[in-house]
Amino acid sequence: MGRGRQKAKHTKVARDLKYYSPPTDLTALQRELQSQRGETASTSGDNRAEDSDDRADEDAPSVYRR
pLDDT the model gives residue 15: 95
Work out how many domains the chain is built from and give that number: 1
pLDDT the model gives residue 1: 54
CA distances from 43 to 22, 50, 53, 55 (A): 34, 12, 16, 17
Percent of the residues in the chain that have a pLDDT greater than 90, as a whole number = 41
Domain containing 56 equals 24-66
For residues 65 and 57, the answer to whether their CB atoms sit within 8 Å is yes
* 50: phi then psi, degrees, rounded to nearest 5: -65, -40
* 13 lies in some domain: no
* 44 lies in some domain: yes
53 vs 31, higher pLDDT: 31
* 9 lies in some domain: no
* 4 lies in some domain: no
* 47 lies in some domain: yes
Q: Considering the chain, what is the average pLDDT of its residues?
A: 77
d(CA 32, CA 26): 10
pLDDT confidence band for 3 (50 / 70 / 90): confident
* 43 lies in some domain: yes
- Over residues 53-63, the mean pLDDT reads 58
* 52 lies in some domain: yes
